Structure 1
């Protein structure tokens, strides 16, 4: 079949960043999200170059394989363009961008991906992440060292291990072909969305059946309500839906939509390299660390962090147990300073402790058997002893017993 459906692309600077380094594209057959990085202007330029290079692929392809090859080649050429751009404009050194692209060919979706932007498929009320993040924390998840939930809050979650940049003329790009069907809803987004809005809320929004434009607006609102610490770009594609078929020129959003091109300011003195940034907050820009030795350094750092966490957990548990033990010992010591008069078998006994028990643990013990027989006591005293008589102190308990002795002596 010929691809029919509707699509939308939106992009927002967010609530923290001063400029939008994302770019996005939604056309008739091609859909792209690119999340730039590398300083105030470098990311703008990188994502803009990527989108403008790839938008030429927005035309029908004879086969999905032909589209896959074209995507692979176009992204590789874009890497060369980025390298050439930096050689002409050294102030852009270190710039890079993620690329997540989707081409519809007949009944197939052709996907190309590098970085940590994402492509999701919503089908039959279920959301599936189609692409794999090329990040340090994803490697930790894949190796079973941390859980996906821990990855969302890991201090190194912004470190990319693969990216389209000015340092690698032959980037490693994931490409594959998937069958698609009427009713499918595809979502392409930068981590400004998926980094702050979890999959459950994304799935719920996509499942409301609203047109792509309204759905994208709701997703953007959720990101903004969550603080939007990064740029947010959303592209939604409906396959064979009830909404009008896309027609006309493609929609370009983000930095690539600037009709004057991206304005690059002069490099600022003392600017920190994005290879080794001084990270001040969790919402600082994503950065790229491709070296294998750096990956080993990060893994070792994560091991040290895990060991420190275990040590602190052990220390914290030991402190809690010590406090509980001290409190228990103190409470028990207090009980042993109390006395009461009660019955043990057939005699009156002074007990040390309190009348209550703590489960199977008795909080009292016989202190002195007075030798007074219960049967010799008047009825009211015998009943009082059997129900126990509290004493303020040992002397008070002895005084109570002495009163009983006098009562027996005075009896006729």
Structure 2
């Protein structure tokens, strides 16, 4: 039985961008994703030119090493095409593209990678990221300056350290050969997917969808469900065994599927390479990736990141202190208000005037005895005694004093209201002596 592949490629402009700068390719043995940078100035042109040049090497190879060499040569050639395009069309200055590609040869795959597009492998239901992003924040993660979670929201997460384009005549490309086997599912994507959808969610979709086409569509839908702030391109490749080798019709998606937006004038082709420099993003273009010029620029970014981290810590500290001050001020104002209130209640068996309110905050009591009286609670009538036990609220100390005065006048009438009965002697007839009491033994 032969080792064959089934594949699918899907690309979507997303919900924010106005044009698609991604390109994807699924062929006989070659599978690739490119993510252009440069906005309307040429991001779509860059990814399309690079992928069209790379697609020329799609076909059978004698070994994975041969395929790896072909990938390297094709990527160098693609970079030269981009450099020449910028030279002949200065309006494209600053354009570039990421590129992630694999070529399957029997039980092996040759991989090539530059930028922040990614290659994943699902094997035995475990999804593994094969490539490493060539980004500024990935360097910070690798050096231990920030965590992987912090990298997701870092303001420099779109800074690319390596791309194809007119910034480097000899870009450094990651190349490797890996094994593959029936049952493996490979997935290539732009950061419009990996930067939006969580790793576990990607794994669940790849595990639970049967065909590559369904998987690719489901992954794009997941990005759209999360807002899809960037173009999203996905290529899914299944490796399996078959008695027949099916004919494969190459599929190109994204900007590479459309005609290139410019035509190179005849007679102006040149091998001249412009001086390397940092190309800032066109302020009128859409937000996009950009790449640094040299290690000095990286050091500058790292120092800027440190300054930003210090500012963030100071801002957080000041904000915390302000919030604590506001909370403390609110609590103090609330406590001061409670001390303008008074109520009459019981303290150690006597009537007392309390300053504050009856409620407390946890173990903290918001009232204290303001004035003790000599009125015993037990001397009060039953109804009045219950009022005192339940407390009588007033608006001021003077009002509380008036309540005490009223209680004082009723204090002597409480003895006969204890709930018992008092016997009344029976009158005897006139002239009849009352019987003498019997002596007590």
Q: TM over 0.5: same fold?
A: yes
* 1:108-137 CA distance string (max 9 Å, x none): 222110011111112233322211111112
- Quick check: 2:136–2:161 contact (8 Å CA) kept in 1? yes
- Quick check: 1:5–1:240 contact (8 Å CA) kept in 2? yes
Match of 2:319 in 1: 316
* 1:143-170 CA distance string (max 9 Å, x none): 3333434433333222111011223222
Q: Residue 276 of structure 1 is aligned with which of 275, 280, 294?
A: 280
**1:247 maps to 2:247:** yes
* 1:17-56 CA distance string (max 9 Å, x none): 4543332221221111122223536334432332233234
Once the two structures are TM-superposed, the CA of residue 287 in structure 1 deviates from its matched residue by 1.5
- Quick check: 1:23–1:256 contact (8 Å CA) kept in 2? yes
**1:200 maps to 2:200:** yes
Once the two structures are TM-superposed, the CA of residue 397 in structure 1 deviates from its matched residue by 1.5
* 1:258-280 CA distance string (max 9 Å, x none): 4x5442599xxxxxx98212557
How many Å separate the matches in 2 of 1:39 and 1:345? 82
Greater Cα shift, 401-410 or 293-302? 401-410
Once the two structures are TM-superposed, the CA of residue 378 in structure 1 deviates from its matched residue by 4.0
Match of 2:429 in 1: none
Match of 1:391 in 2: 394
- Quick check: 2:116–2:135 contact (8 Å CA) kept in 1? yes
How many Å separate the matches in 2 of 1:134 and 1:20? 22
TM-score normalised by the chain length of structure 1: 0.86
- Quick check: 1:6–1:245 contact (8 Å CA) kept in 2? no
Task: Give the RMSD, CA atoms, in angstroms.
Answer: 3.1
Taking a change above 3 Å as real, the CA distance of residues 28 and 328 of structure 1, as seen in their structure-2 partners, is same
Once the two structures are TM-superposed, the CA of residue 81 in structure 1 deviates from its matched residue by 3.7
**1:297 maps to 2:296:** no
**1:235 maps to 2:216:** no
How many Å separate the matches in 1 of 2:144 and 2:166? 32
Once the two structures are TM-superposed, the CA of residue 325 in structure 1 deviates from its matched residue by 1.2
TM-score normalised by the chain length of structure 2: 0.81
How many Å separate the matches in 2 of 1:237 and 1:368? 86
How many Å separate the matches in 2 of 1:10 and 1:242? 25
How many Å separate the matches in 2 of 1:349 and 1:257? 90
**1:333 maps to 2:336:** yes
SS of the residue aligned with 1:59? coil
Taking a change above 3 Å as real, the CA distance of residues 349 and 298 of structure 1, as seen in their structure-2 partners, is same
- Quick check: 1:32–1:235 contact (8 Å CA) kept in 2? yes
How many Å separate the matches in 1 of 2:243 and 2:327? 64
Match of 1:107 in 2: 107
How many Å separate the matches in 1 of 2:164 and 2:319? 44
SS of the residue aligned with 1:323? helix
- Quick check: 2:41–2:91 contact (8 Å CA) kept in 1? no
* 1:170-226 CA distance string (max 9 Å, x none): 211112222222221111112233233333332232222332123222333333454
In the TM superposition, what are the counterparts of 1:45-56 in structure 2 within 5 Å?
A: 45-56=45-56
- Quick check: 1:8–1:213 contact (8 Å CA) kept in 2? yes
Which 5+ residue runs of structure 1 have no aligned equivalent? 267-272
Once the two structures are TM-superposed, the CA of residue 7 in structure 1 deviates from its matched residue by 0.8
* 1:62-102 CA distance string (max 9 Å, x none): 33333323322332333334334444444443332211011
Bigger Rg, which one: 2
In the TM superposition, what are the counterparts of 1:4-403 in structure 2 within 5 Å?
A: 4-38=4-38, 40=40, 42-240=42-240, 246-258=246-258, 261-263=260-262, 275-277=279-281, 284-403=287-406
* 1:384-409 CA distance string (max 9 Å, x none): 33333323321121112222333347
